[in-house]
Amino acid sequence: MFEYAPAPESQALVNFKDSYGHFIDGKFQKPGKTYQTINPANEKVLADITYGTEKDVDLAVKAARHAYEKVWSKLPGAERGKYLYRIARIIQERARELAVAETLNNGKPIKETRDVDIPLVAAWFFYYAGWADKLDYAGLGPNPQALGVAAQVIPWNFPLMMLAWKIAPALAAGNTVVLKPAETTPLTALLFAEICQQAELPDGVVNIVTGFGDTGAALVGHKDVNKVAFTGSTEVGRIIARQVAGTNKKVTLELGGKAANIVFDDAPLDQAVEGIINGIFFNQGHVCCAGSRLLVQESIQDELLKKLQRRMESLRLGDPMDKNTDIGAINSKAQLKKIEALVKQGEKEGAERWSPACVIPKNGFYFAPTLMLGVSPANTVAREEIFGPVLSVMTFRTPQEAVTKANNTEFGLSAGIWTEKGSRILKLADQLNAGVVWANTFNQFDPTSPFGGFKESGYGREGGKQGLAAYLKGGY
């Protein structure tokens, strides 16, 4: 019948070097001791990446300090804005190349990098470019001052987007940065370094140091950084909080989540199904604000699950470079193992596991979209962040029970409400302990809107006017 023929995006759109050194003081260093970064969709090596040492970090922080004191802090806001606008435009011009690079290194479908990640990256730079000369209106009093050098450590789930969330507000506010991308996804950050050169950004304003956790720890712990911004696991977030305790460093942490997606019996069902799918299977579920707990009103459970399962059968898992792929590869073997272990644990505790029939490619790391049915709030899969395409299904009977169950988590990053009743949306949004509450939609991002968590999901906000406060004196 109507089978979709392969529609692969061209790999030739991007040219990686064989090996990369750090990007410090406007120049790429010679590669040092390296490790390999791979394409998780087929396990092929993409490039050799330098494993950053304490010395490298020190060099980068020095460059950032120098650039801050001699150049960046002396520039008027409007001039900083010009550079940011220039970067934003170059990102748009090189959008297709960046989308391909991101898909190759991360494993997420090209459809998502092309339509979501890269457009948002450009939007973030455009948005904060506009703020650079308007900091007087950030709500922090007249002429707010930058902090200095920001140490930024980002995760592998949205590599370039997380870079944009960190670098754009930092630079707009007048800081210089040293950023460490995740060890498995350094390539788009290194392409971004090329973009900084292309935009003729003054040397040392943006520095990229690649490496593993200890590289990140050296950066966060460096005595000459004024600000630490981290996005990643709650586990590492705790370590960082301890590491910077008792110093003058300002910290923002954006950590894990276990969001509830609450579906009431008067919800627009077909759209709720789409929202549930988008909530948990977008980016293979590697989303800190993923709607990983489905709370469905008991009276519509059967109807909704039937629709959801049918819809899951139409999800296309496979080669991320194919334009028709909905679910790509899991980013690493380690993550795949973690997902597998948690799902097994869930089964052991009595949950019923369901996946649609789908062919898993032989090479690369893949995990079928999965429902865990009959989950109780006490189960591991209802409590721990799985960070994969696994949805735990629970029920509720009354709105109060929905709120109680939704809030019964150590996290508090996001939540979703599905109902046609506007008054209920407003009341629930008020009662849910989550930084973001989506109503009749899920996983929508915009640079004008602040994003961040409650409880163990971290502190500080990114995006919007609130996101500037994290990089200015007088902010939190």
Partner 1 sequence: MQPHSPEAIVGSRITNQSLKRWLHSLPGVDKVGLEARAASLGTRSIKTSSKAWALDSAIKMMDLTTLEGMDTPERVKSLCLKALTPDPTDLDCPRPAAICVYGDMVKHAKKALGNSGIYVAAVATAFPSGRASVAVKLLDTKDAVKAGADEIDMVIDRGAFLSGNYLEVYKQIQAVKEACKRSDGSYAHLKVILETGELQTYDNIRRASYLAMLAGGDFIKTSTGKVTVNATIPITMLMLQAVRDWYDEHGVLIGVKPAGGIRTAKDAIKYLVVVKETAGEQWLNPDLFRFGASSLLNDVLMQRQKLKTGNYSGPDYVSVD
The footprint of partner 1 (CB under 8 A) covers 1-7, 111, 115, 266-272, 274-275, 306, 314, 323-324, 420, 440-441
Choice between 63 and 300, CB closer to partner 1? 300
Find out whether 163 and 192 touch, Cβ atoms under 8 Å.
yes
Phi, psi of 248 (to 5 degrees): -85, 0
3-state secondary structure of 121: helix
Choice between 198 and 271, CB closer to partner 1? 271
Phi, psi of 267 (to 5 degrees): -75, 155
CA–CA distances in Å: residue 420 to residues 17, 131, 205, 303, 424: 52, 37, 48, 17, 9
Choice between 7 and 45, CB closer to partner 1? 7
Find out whether 447 and 300 touch, Cβ atoms under 8 Å.
no
Known catalytic membership, residue 196: no
Choice between 256 and 275, CB closer to partner 1? 275
Neighbours of 188 (CB within 10 A): 29
Burial of 235 (0-12, 13-18, 19+ CB in 10 A): exposed
Q: Alpha-carbon distance 290 to 280, whole Å?
A: 5
Q: How far is the CB of 356 from partner 1 (least distance, A)?
A: 14
Q: Which helix (H) or strand (E) holds 301?
A: helix 301-313
3-state secondary structure of 317: strand
* Angle, CA 326 vertex, CA 323 and CA 332 arms, to 5°: 100
Sheet of 19-20: strands edge to edge? 19-20, 44-50, 34-39
Find out whether 24 and 209 touch, Cβ atoms under 8 Å.
yes
Choice between 71 and 439, CB closer to partner 1? 439
Choice between 16 and 445, CB closer to partner 1? 445
Please identify which of the residues 9, 102, 112, 254 carries the catalytic annotation: 254
Find out whether 367 and 336 touch, Cβ atoms under 8 Å.
yes
- Could you tell me the two tokens for 246? 């008792």
Phi, psi of 410 (to 5 degrees): -75, -10
- The DSSP annotation for 350-372 comes to TPEEE----PPPSSS-----EEE
Choice between 316 and 353, CB closer to partner 1? 316
Q: How far is the CB of 310 from partner 1 (least distance, A)?
A: 8
Neighbours of 70 (CB within 10 A): 12
Q: Alpha-carbon distance 50 to 360, whole Å?
A: 32
Choice between 70 and 306, CB closer to partner 1? 306
Helix count (H) and strand count (E) of the chain? 16, 18
Known catalytic membership, residue 254: yes
Q: How far is the CB of 326 from partner 1 (least distance, A)?
A: 9
Q: How far is the CB of 314 from partner 1 (least distance, A)?
A: 5
- 95-106 and 118-131 helices, crossing angle to 10°: 120
Give the side-chain half-sphere CA count within 13 A for 21.
Answer: 13
Please identify which of the residues 183, 196, 288, 385 carries the catalytic annotation: 288
Q: How far is the CB of 126 from partner 1 (least distance, A)?
A: 22
Q: How far is the CB of 9 from partner 1 (least distance, A)?
A: 9
Find out whether 172 and 80 touch, Cβ atoms under 8 Å.
yes
Choice between 290 and 425, CB closer to partner 1? 425
Q: How far is the CB of 278 from partner 1 (least distance, A)?
A: 9
Q: How far is the CB of 4 from partner 1 (least distance, A)?
A: 5
Give the side-chain half-sphere CA count within 13 A for 406.
Answer: 31
Q: How far is the CB of 209 from partner 1 (least distance, A)?
A: 36
* Active site (catalytic) residues: 254, 288
